[in-house]
Chain A
Amino acid sequence: MDFLEKHELYACLQCGKCTGGCPVSLRAPLNIRSLMREVLMGGSPEVALDCPGLWDCTTCAICTLRCPRGLKPSEVIVGLRAELVEGGRVPKTIIDALEGTFKHGNPWGRARQKRIEWKGDTAVKTLSDEGEAEWLYFIGCAPSYDPRLQRIPRILCRILETAGIDFGSLGTKESCCGNEIRRMGETGLFEELREENTKNFNASGVKAILTTSPHCFNTFSTEYDLDGFKVLHYTQLLADLIKEGEITFSKEVNKKVVYHDPCFLGKQHEIFDPPREILKAIPGLELLEFDRCRERSLCCEGGGGRMWAEGAGEGERNSEVRVKDAHAMGAEIIATACPFCLLTLEDGAKTTGLEEEMPIREILELVAEAMGFDDV
């Protein structure tokens, strides 16, 4: 099947809904609608490979979710990137991320033995070397290595322990989930990662997997073949534990908090309510909503490999728009449930000069505060 058939380009109505809703189309030289037309009329993906905006796509998938003909424009971008990767026509930063993942199992190219650095003195058993468990907690690359994010898995471990959940991790055997790798066009490497992780999941003896990141959650639940495994994003489990009374709060968080829906959790999986249920359960916390929330949430521009590619976009970033909107509505904190969103929104707070006024927090950080975990 050739590229045109594989991506159903003959069925495109050229209605423009994809480009119209694209979160980067107003600031980047990327028009997916016309790109698909170019490929169709040119008869091959070659004609679109020079498009300077190909690395701007965040794979938020709004184009795919809303296409009236059921086409997958975001997958056309991934397909075009695959052609670029094949021909070695890729930005240096992307090559580094791919090589780092190939060699060390993470796109930052950090050493594998440092993957458990986040733990500090948190006790987490390694599966299955140090026994068995009900849940496998998949930490993810960013929370494992990024100093800003490392306390997030520590907090979650503490919460799980408090709630009496039996869990463990893969320790240094954990490798990148591949969600971003596939979206950077490196299908071969993605397949290797999938095979390796699946092998480790099977060997761990668990039947349930919990993730920090919506990106890992997405690929495990839609792009892996994990029949028989339950895969949850931590917000789903946490919301249930709160409902069941397994988690209680001892302190108030007297803040106005606006929640930012991550694309890979909200739009793509319709997990809109669990994060809000957690925030609403926190004593003293007042939950605000962006006008662009839930299905209309504005993408932070952190997905689809954008953590490793600046893109050709100009002007105000979406993260800056988000921070300003939050500030204008009187929010004191932006909360989110995704490591990438957290980092990009923090960048937005810095570049808009609102770093002090507008702190960005993982939901888990607010939960920790309300549970009185001062030392995590």
Chain B
Amino acid sequence: MSKKHKVGVFICHCGKNIGGYINIAQLVEMVKTIPDVVISTDQKYMCSDQGQAEIKKALQEGLIDRVVVASCSPTMHEKTFRKCVSEEDFNPYLYQQVDIRENCSWVTKDIQEATYKAYELIKAGVSRVKTLEPLWSTEYPVTPTTLVIGGGIAGIIAATDILEAGFKVVLVEREDQLGGWARRIGKGFPHLTPIKDFLKEKIEVLQSHSGLKTYLSSEVVGLEGFPGNFKATIKQADDTTVEEEIGSIIVATGFKPFDARRKPEFAYGESTQVITTVEMEELLEKGELSTNGQPKEVAFIQCVGSRDKSIGNEYCSRTCCMVVAKQALLLKELIPDARVSVFYMDVRAFGKGYEEFFEKAQRSGVIYIRGNPSEVYKSGDKMLIRYEDTLLGRPQELAADLVVLSVGMEPAEGAAELINTLRATADKDGFFLEAHPKLGPLDTFSDGLFIAGCCQGPKDLPDTVAQAHGAAARATVYFHQDKVIKEPVVATIDADVCSGCGLCESICSFDALHLDEKKKRMTVQEAVCKGCGACAATCPSGAISLKHFRPSQVLAWVEGFLS
């Protein structure tokens, strides 16, 4: 290092999180001994206004030209401090965060050991920060159109919001009409309002907008580009494909009901006296059940295809408890002298007004039996259900005229292929994985790609509609800004060294590297590059390096530990 740097180190107590497990006063003194450190100081909370002000003051006074904050994990506050130093016209890539909380104070019992470990981590960070170079973000223009995949209730709501905000929507629906599963629902719980009316109105509002382009009987089969500037390939009913330029994407492809044939012990498909809640919904809607006052004995079985490791679905499908409460209640109204039973493990009535609705169903005369039935078989003209009433501790049989299997939700047909096409990620059950279960429920790990409704996991109408509104807002953030900002941590190629072998192109998950046919050298499409570094690690000649993580910068880090 020819130029001598002036490094400021700011150590955070994070209240007791760090301060309770590390001797901060001692640490501040130890850090002062690290070469080129000109400021070593501490604050109760560095992320507070007071903490940030101290960093700014040091920059304003020209005391330092490199900044290190020793606090939490960079995923928590790196952005905060980069923004803080930027406000003083200081390049944010000359800032280094050192994690002494998750990596140190939270996991080290002995206070002396923790203090020394924190010192070592800071020493490495200081060594690295001195090798960093200023980097600048790039701005790209935006196509203010959102591709909405799936024309069910989530897609309809999201598309309408985006259109109302003044942007355009390309809506792709696999079926020959809009509406999805909401078309098949009769009355909704807990207020028993007709869903079809609500849906019809929503579709009319959607279709009244001029910025909407709808592709029915069509599927998205390809996607390239980067946030703000994607190109989607859509396959139409006649097998022809069209391309659409779009700026963001919302996936709202919904679910498919569990195939009850995968639980052969329930005899679904073998007897017409065993149906699913999907079929029951249609029967109730058509009113066909009551024509001759039949059936007299109806039993619902909950959790068919949900909360069941034996078929690989551990999750709760969240809607079935209320669907059954509703269907049982309506059935009781339709055939008052029918005996209606519901076999359950737990009743999950978590939504607003749901518990009250569940009680209403019980009070209407529906018998809730706590037990998970094991088997259904024919006996004369009845279907016998083998179960144990676990509250009475009594194994029993119930003879029913009609058995209704309360089927759960599974990822929609083709979800895996679509996840692949969009370069999204599947969760362990095959649904679209959200970027963060709490803090990024509508985002994915692919920038510009958002999710709403049951494609992310089972949920009811209120949650689906709420997500759709949220996804519409998320998907149009770039549009309001009129630009996308691309961070500068991307791969860069030394054309003098590159031999154009193409190994990097094959390893890149984002299709960011291509051969320049003329020059016979690889080139990076910076807007697409995610800065993962896979190419740099693969390049046999060392021609590729990742900005901000160049070999010299990484080695300085390691040397900092070892010095």
Contact = CB atoms under 8 A, between A and B. Distances in A.
A70 B307 CA distance: 11
A68 B303 contact: yes
Contact of A68 (B265, B307, B375, B388): B307
A295 B378 CA distance: 14
A213 interface: no
B372 A20 contact: yes
Interface in A14-43: 14-22, 25-26, 31, 33-34
Q: Chain A CB within 10 Å — which of B372, B389, B397 has the most?
A: B372
Interface string B179-222: 00000000000000000000000000000000000000000000
Q: Chain A CB within 10 Å — which of B265, B267, B303 has the most?
A: B265
B309 A31 contact: no
A13 B265 contact: no
A266 to B, nearest CB: 11
A17 B377 contact: no
Interface stretch (A59-67, A155-163, A365-373): A59-67
B265 A66 contact: yes
B372 A16 contact: yes
Contacts of A22: 374, 395
Contact of B388 (A25, A65, A295, A296): A25
A20 B267 contact: no
A34 B393 CA distance: 7
B448 interface: no
A19 B391 CA distance: 13
B374 A291 contact: no
A114 interface: no
Interface residues of B, number: 26
Contact of A25 (B264, B310, B378, B395): B395
Contacts of B370: 16
Nearest to A25: B395
A296 B378 CA distance: 11
A66 B375 CA distance: 10
B375 A21 contact: yes
Contact of B387 (A16, A65, A68, A292): A16
B247 interface: no
A295 B309 contact: no
A62 B309 contact: no
Interface residues of A, number: 27
Given A25-B388, A62-B374, A296-B377, A20 B265 contact: no
Interface in B248-268: 264-265, 267
A301 B310 CA distance: 24
Given A19-B395, A21-B265, A66-B310, A291 B373 contact: no
Contacts of B345: 13, 15, 68
A296 B265 contact: yes
Given A14-B390, A67-B310, A291 B264 contact: no
Contacts of B307: 68
Interface in B358-381: 370-375, 377-378
A69 B308 CA distance: 6
Contacts of A81: none
A20 B371 CA distance: 8
A294 interface: yes
Contacts of B387: 16, 20
A15 B375 contact: no
A296 B387 CA distance: 14
Contacts of B372: 13, 15-17, 20, 68
B386 interface: yes
A315 to B, nearest CB: 13
Nearest to B308: A68
A68 B371 CA distance: 12
Q: Chain A CB within 10 Å — which of B309, B377, B387, B388 has the most?
A: B388
A33 B310 contact: no
A291 B377 contact: yes
Contacts of A62: 374
Contacts of B308: 68
Given A17-B374, A21-B265, A68 B390 contact: no
Contact of A26 (B265, B390, B395): B395
A20 B267 CA distance: 16
Contacts of A31: 388, 393, 395
Contacts of B374: 17-18, 20-22, 62, 66
A20 B372 CA distance: 7
A13 B314 CA distance: 13
Given A14-B390, A15-B390, A20 B309 contact: no
Nearest to B371: A16
A20 B393 contact: no
B215 to A, nearest CB: 41
B309 A70 contact: yes
Contacts of A69: 309
Contacts of A17: 371-374, 388
Given A15-B372, A16-B371, A22-B395, A294 B264 contact: yes
B265 A16 contact: no
Interface string B377-410: 1100000001111100101110000000000000
A292 B264 CA distance: 11
A370 to B, nearest CB: 30
A65 B310 contact: yes
Nearest to B266: A296
A261 to B, nearest CB: 12
Given A15-B345, A20-B373, A295 B265 contact: yes
B303 A20 contact: no
Contacts of A25: 388, 395
Given A17-B372, A68-B309, A70-B309, A33 B388 contact: yes
B410 to A, nearest CB: 16
B20 to A, nearest CB: 33
Given A20-B373, A295-B265, 19 more contacts: A15-B372, A16-B371, A17-B371, A17-B388, A19-B388, A20-B387, A20-B395, A25-B395, A26-B395, A26-B397, A31-B393, A62-B374, A66-B374, A68-B303, A68-B308, A68-B309, A70-B310, A291-B378, A296-B265
Q: What 7 A-B pairs come out closest when comparing CB atoms?
A: A21-B374, A16-B388, A15-B372, A25-B395, A16-B390, A20-B374, A19-B388
9 contacts: A16-B388, A16-B389, A19-B390, A19-B395, A34-B393, A68-B345, A68-B372, A70-B309, A70-B310
